Amino acid sequence: MPKQESDSCLYQFHNCRILRDHDLVIDDLWVRDGKILDPEKLFYDEKRSADIQIDCEGNIICPGFIDVQINGAYGVDFSLNTDDVEEGVRKVAKGLLAHGVTSFCPTLVTSPVDVYHKVIPRIKKCNGSGEGAGILGLHLEGPFINREKKGAHEEQFIRAFPAGIQDVLQTYGCLDNAAIVTLAPELDNSKFVIEELCARGVHVSLGHSMADLIQGEEAVSHGACFITHLFNAMLPFHHRDPHLVGLLASQRIPIDKCIYYGLIADGIHTHPAALRIAHSIHPTGLVLVTDAISAMGLPTGVHHIGTQKISICGKRAVIAGTNTLCGSIATMNVCVKHLNKEANCGVVNSLEAATLHPASMLGITDSKGTLDFNTDADFLILNNNLDIEATYIAGEKVWDLTPLNECLNMEIIT
């Protein structure tokens, strides 16, 4: 009898183009037990054919989207809804499936210390499922930022830069559930704190900052690897000092290190020319983020971020009574399509900015962000317009554009 390594159902997705190795290749995708399999190993070791074949009708299969900066959605604000934290996270995680997000980093803006102590222990890392996208860890955006570039962050909660990691722990309470911390690298003692955070497995991002290029380069030399929403809440590019934007072209970044940068490609936060410039200079570091706030998915009106009122008008979210942007209401699939259109960078680059690049920044490409063999079977089926037809997590369909027709292209092999 042929060797059978598993009695679990073996799926074969065929008639598709798979995003793999920086290209769209015509191939089949084999899935079992929540993992992507090597078909040659299946054939030679198990002599096994698929239990179920799924015709993808020529569509694209790409890894699930990863959003590393999202403040909330669907009326939920991770920094504000502190009474029922878990339910709020579940609501957002479930809603994100329709937009192709299979993993995300819930983001806390600058908040009172008691909010950190209450919320951080309760938003735990977890795998995704039919109940919602997986949680890769928290993104703590503040409170160690520059008041001059606070953006929508409330100044009264911004804290003096800590003397060391103990001050950081006193502020946050713990770092067990943290994946990213955004801080301003020009503030005192930053290099020591960056080193300590990196040593604890937390990725340091530079943002809400008045830093010059030299200060940014020094922060990178101590372990920082990310720039929070490039162009926003930082000094603009200048030809004599390009500031943090200059990190994209710095020759002081070690050749074996990639500096990644978030871009909000919602048509509001970043001009199309700026998208094109950033992508042209440093395409492999571009990470699409939504920076979505609680009003994402809600109608026009007044809503909240942190403890502030914000106003939604059209595609813009601003602090009520001002013109200060305070986050996006765009979804990740919209950002991918906008980048593809405005930067004219091609489908592969647009998709990798929401998949491979954030996974690479977080160091999780062994499980997320690619369709390599033995990685998690978190993937999307998209049409040629990059509209999402279906979302899969661990090989399970968790969202479908046309759920009533979900079995039409499925053939059970007997």
The HSE-up count of residue 383 (CA atoms within 13 Å, CB side) is 6
Q: Is 32 annotated as a binding residue?
A: no
Provide the terminal-to-terminal Cα distance of the chain, rounded to the nearest Å. Answer: 17
152 is in an annotated binding site: yes
Of 212, 266, 291, 376, which one is the catalytic site residue? 291
**Residue 233 assigned as binding residue:** yes
CA–CA dist 256, 279 (Å, integer): 19
Residue 390 carries which side chain, given as an amino acid letter?
Answer: A
198 assigned to a ligand binding site = no
Tell me the C-alpha distance between 139 and 35, whole Å.
Answer: 27
Exposure string (b/e) for 73-112, b if CB count within 10 Å is 16 or more?
A: bbbbbbbbbbeebeebbebbbbbbbbbbbbbbbbbbbbbb
Asked if residue 269 belongs to a known ligand binding site, the reply is: yes
Q: Is the peptide bond before 143 cis (omega within 30 degrees of 0)?
A: yes
Question: Can you point out the beta strands (E) in 203-255?
Answer: 203-206, 226-227
User: Is residue 291 flagged as an active site residue?
Assistant: yes
Least Cα distance to 322 among 332, 330, 313, 314 occurs for 313
229 is an annotated ligand-binding site residue: yes
**CA-derived radius of gyration, the chain:** 21
Phi then psi for residue 193, to 5 deg, are: -65, -40
Q: Is 340 annotated to bind ligand?
A: no
Helical (H) or strand (E) element with 399: strand 396-400
- Whole-number Å distance between alpha carbons of 339 and 350: 6
Task: Name every residue whose Cβ is closer than 8 Å to that of residue 153 and which is 6 or more positions away in sequence.
Answer: 109, 110, 141, 142, 143, 145, 208, 306
For 128-166, b where at least 16 C-beta lie within 10 A, e where not — what string?
Answer: bbeebbbbbbbbbbbbbbbeebbbbbbeebbeebbeebe
Q: Does 357 carry a binding-site annotation?
A: no
Contact 247, 253 (CB under 8 A): yes
Asked whether residue 240 is marked as a ligand-binding residue, the answer is yes
Which residues fall in the annotated binding site? 141, 152, 208, 229, 232-233, 240, 269, 325-327
Which residues fall in the annotated binding site for Zn(2+)? 141, 208, 229
Catalytic residues, which ones? 291
Which residues fall in the annotated binding site for substrate? 152, 232-233, 240, 269, 325-327
